[in-house]
Amino acid sequence: MNYLRPLFPYLLGLVLVLSTQKFLNIGLVNALGQLILFTFVVCIPIWRTERMSYVDIGWPWGLVLLGTISFIYSDGYWLRSALISSMVILVGLRMGLGALKMWKAGYLEREFPRYQYQRILWKEEGKNNTQFALQVDAISQGMANASFLALPIFIAASNTNESFALLEFIGIGIWASALIFESVADFQKLLFLRNMKKAKKYNQVCNIGLWKYCRHPNYFAEWMVWNGIIVMAIPSFYNLGALEISFFNNELSAILWGFVGFGMLYASRMMYVTLVYTTGAIPSEHFSALKREGYKDYQRNTNRFFPGPKKVN
């Protein structure tokens, strides 16, 4: 049971998606698509190599699949459906194409540090069956695409209202700004690494550009990308909720729709925990502090996740 615990929240999220009549069919199609994708792109390669890094291919391409399924099977206003579907597809493509490039360059032939950190945690938790733990963690990533991350996409894409609310434009603005912010952060990191390689300086601390204001601007921006998507979906949630509750006209439908809204908002919390604690900031910093001279000073003086002025000791 200890091994399966990471799956429980996503199972509840999937039940939530499938228990809503509005999303039953599209939810089943997406769940099946994610299952097939992760089986062949992630789970089988992990079983053969015992390396978790293949998740970095499967998860973003799962987002591309999610957006594609949403646009094809949703029954909302076509322009809104195209917008929200394109938003999640672009997020997936940005990371997915980068992951394929790393795979082609041979970077997936060794385990990424953030996944090496998982083994440390498993040992502390008494999980000695590494192969089984790897599969559970991989499956949980696919289930995220089939549950909580799917909710704001399905909700917005199912809204038939042809007029857009101000909050939807705000959400799109947050999403676009965060995507640019993330791309700039990644470019600055890549430029820094290239310059250090030319100078034959290795294991240096990247503290240029956006990296001066927080230690993980790319993770922060990825979180804000999803916050933008969620904000865009809020007006559609209220619009669909009024239709669902009036159609079924019972207290149970109102309670269920309330849980759907909670699940949509929980996607933000889920992404934050993942990007900071599970496979993000803390796991990657564990090894950076060991091998990069000056990284502990960087930790003391620079915010971890939220950008801002340098810390004052």
Report residue 212 as tokens: 């001066």
Name residue 226's amino acid: W
Nearest to 217 by CA among 281, 277, 170, 271: 281
Rounded distance between C-alpha atoms, residue 157 and residue 151, angstroms: 10
Rounded distance between C-alpha atoms, residue 105 and residue 164, angstroms: 44
Q: Cβ(136)–Cβ(4) under 8 Å?
A: yes
Q: How far is CA 31 from the centre of its chain?
A: 16
pLDDT in tens, 106-148: 888 888 888 888 888 888 888 889 899 999 999 999 999 999 9
pLDDT, residue 243, reads 64
Residues 6+ positions from 136 with CB-CB distance below 8 Å: 3, 4, 6, 7
Report residue 151 as tokens: 């909710």
Rounded distance between C-alpha atoms, residue 98 and residue 102, angstroms: 6
Region of residue 13 (left: phi > 0; alpha: psi -120 to 50; beta: else): alpha
pLDDT, residue 1, reads 67
Please report the DSSP string for 118-168 in residue order. HHHHHHHTT---HHHHHHHHHHHHHHHHHTTTHHHHHHHHT----SPPHHH
Please give the DSSP secondary-structure letter assigned to residue 265: H
pTM of the prediction? Answer: 0.93
Rounded distance between C-alpha atoms, residue 188 and residue 193, angstroms: 9
Low-confidence ranges of the chain (pLDDT < 50): 247-248, 313
